[in-house]
Structure formats: C-alpha cells, structure tokens
C-alpha cells in the first residue's frame, strides 16, 4: 500500500542533510519578506537548474519594473551555447556574431574610366563568420544595424572628371566621390574608402561598385600584395 506523507512546519524553517527529492509534483519556494536562497552556504558544489534533456521553458527574474537581476561568475566566465561569453571584467566575445572580411588579390585592369560601373569581384575570403558572404555579396542574416566598410586602391594614368565608390544595399546607397581628377603625368595610386552603419532587414544584400568617368577605360584595381597586405577589401559586422 502506497504511503503519502505530509511535511508541515510553520517556524524555524526546514533542514535536511540527506537532500530532498520531488519527482511528481510542483515545488514552490515563496517568501513574503525574507530572502530565498539556494546553495548559499560556503561549501563548494555544483548547482543545476533545468539541466535535464527534455524541453523546458526557463524563466529567470521578475517582470516588475523595479526588479533587478544580477548574474555573477567570480573570476570565471559566463558562457552560453550560442557562442556568447562574458569574462569577469565584463568584456564580451561572440563566435556566432555575423562578420566578414574579403579582399581582392588580383589586379583587374581597365575596369572603368569611361563611366562604366564595375562591381567588385572579391577573390579572397579572409573570414566569414556565419557564412553570409557569397558571390561578391553580403546577405544580412537578421534585421539589424550593420557596420559596412570598403577600401579600394586604384591605379590611374589619365585625367578623369570624377571617381566614385559605392556600397549598395537593398535599400540605400553610400558613396565616396572624388573629382575632378587632374592628369598625373604618370601612373599613380589613389585610395577611396566608404564606411557606414546601415539598417538592413534580414535578406537584404550589400555589394561594392566603382566608377570613374569621362576619360579612357584604363583604371586598374590595386590588388593586395599577399599575406599581411590588405589594401583593397570589403568588411562588415552586425552591431545591434
């Protein structure tokens, strides 16, 4: 015959040196005026909350507007399965945060100069966290604010009336314009940079274009010289 036991105590709390197990019901610990503590003694131990293999909805903290929640880790780190880590000084790293850097090692010649808009063909992927860059295009994986930056190094040897570098997203155009460009008398190097914090919706894309105008089609992209030299690049990262 099964036995049911009730434990009732109205003062001085309850102490168990053998542990307390409940496998079939709800355990509620409530306090009207006193603090509630779990493993608040000085002994080294492991405290586990909702660590079983079944699906669980875990709530920590109150929705009351005057409530506060503090998470401490001593000198250790706070780590999440998503890749986010907060160290004991408050510095954060996130190995899942969308971020990319691509470069151009080749030196494509005669790509513009006669008003042709040339789409940059990035041939070297330095890193692509999240795998969101492909076919010369960055695609935003989620809606947010993205830092986008490009630096284009070019060689030219004629006089041009203007030179423009674009970062084109699905909803906006960010540009750097230079002109008029006087004849240099010899081949020279010129660098253009565009940086912005762009609002992007999930699925929006970003590419880079360059156009020089009103002269001969003789502009050359100055490719990167090799390892450690990144003069022509396109990069981006999700900020918020």
How is 58-98 classified by DSSP, letter by letter?
A: ---S---TT-------TTS-EE-TTSEEE-TTS-EEETTS-
Write the Ramachandran bin of 178: left for phi over 0, alpha for psi from -120 to 50, otherwise beta.
Answer: beta
Q: What per-residue confidence (pLDDT) applies to 118?
A: 97
| Mean pLDDT computed over 206-217 | 94
By percentage, how much of the chain surpasses pLDDT 90?
A: 46
Express as a percent the part of the chain with pLDDT over 70. 84
- Quick one: pLDDT at residue 39? 77
d(CA 120, CA 165): 10
Domains of the chain: 99-238 (2.60.120.40)
Confidence at residue 72, expressed as pLDDT on a 0 to 100 scale? 77
pLDDT digits (tens, 9 = 90+) for 74-127: 788 777 677 888 888 888 888 889 999 999 999 999 999 999 999 999 999 999
Q: How many CB atoms lie within 10 A of CB 21?
A: 7
Q: Looking at residues 191-201, what average pLDDT do you find?
A: 96
pLDDT digits (tens, 9 = 90+) for 19-59: 677 676 677 776 667 677 787 788 888 888 888 888 888 88
**The pair of three-digit structure tokens given for residue 109, joined into one six-digit string:** 């010649």
Q: Is the pLDDT of residue 219 over 70?
A: yes
Query: With bands split at pLDDT 50, 70 and 90, how would you rate the model's confidence at 211?
Result: very high
Rounded distance between C-alpha atoms, residue 137 and residue 172, angstroms: 15
pLDDT: is 1 or 54 the higher one?
Answer: 54
Strand partners of residue 14: none
What is the reported pLDDT for 203?
98
Which of residues 183 and 215 earns the better pLDDT score? Answer: 215
CA distance 36 to 50: 18
- Determine the Cα–Cα distance for residues 176 and 179; give it in Å rounded to an integer: 10
């Amino acid at each position: 015959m099964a036995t049911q036991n009730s434990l009732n105590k109205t003062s001085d709390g309850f102490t168990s040196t053998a542990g307390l197990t409940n496998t079939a019901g709800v355990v509620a610990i409530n306090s009207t005026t006193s603090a509630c503590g779990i493993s608040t003694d000085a002994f080294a131990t492991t405290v586990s909350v909702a660590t079983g293999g079944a699906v669980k909805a875990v709530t920590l903290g109150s929705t009351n507007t005057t409530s506060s929640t503090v998470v401490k880790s001593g000198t250790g780190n706070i780590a999440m399965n998503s890749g986010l880590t907060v160290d004991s000084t408050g510095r954060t790293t996130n190995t899942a945060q969308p971020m990319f850097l691509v470069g151009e090692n080749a030196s494509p010649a005669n790509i513009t100069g006669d008003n042709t808009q040339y789409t940059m063909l990035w041939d070297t992927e330095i890193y692509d966290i999240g795998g969101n860059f492909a076919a010369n295009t960055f695609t935003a994986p989620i809606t947010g604010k993205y830092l986008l930056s490009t630096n284009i190094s070019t060689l030219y040897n004629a006089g041009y009336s203007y030179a423009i570098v674009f970062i084109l997203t699905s909803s906006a155009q960010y540009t750097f314009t230079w002109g008029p460009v006087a004849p240099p008398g010899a081949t020279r190097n010129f660098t253009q940079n565009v940086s912005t914090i762009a609002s992007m919706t999930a699925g929006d894309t970003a590419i880079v274009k360059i156009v020089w105008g009103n002269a001969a089609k003789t502009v050359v992209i100055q490719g990167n010289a090799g390892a450690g030299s990144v003069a022509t690049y396109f990069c981006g990262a999700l900020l918020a």
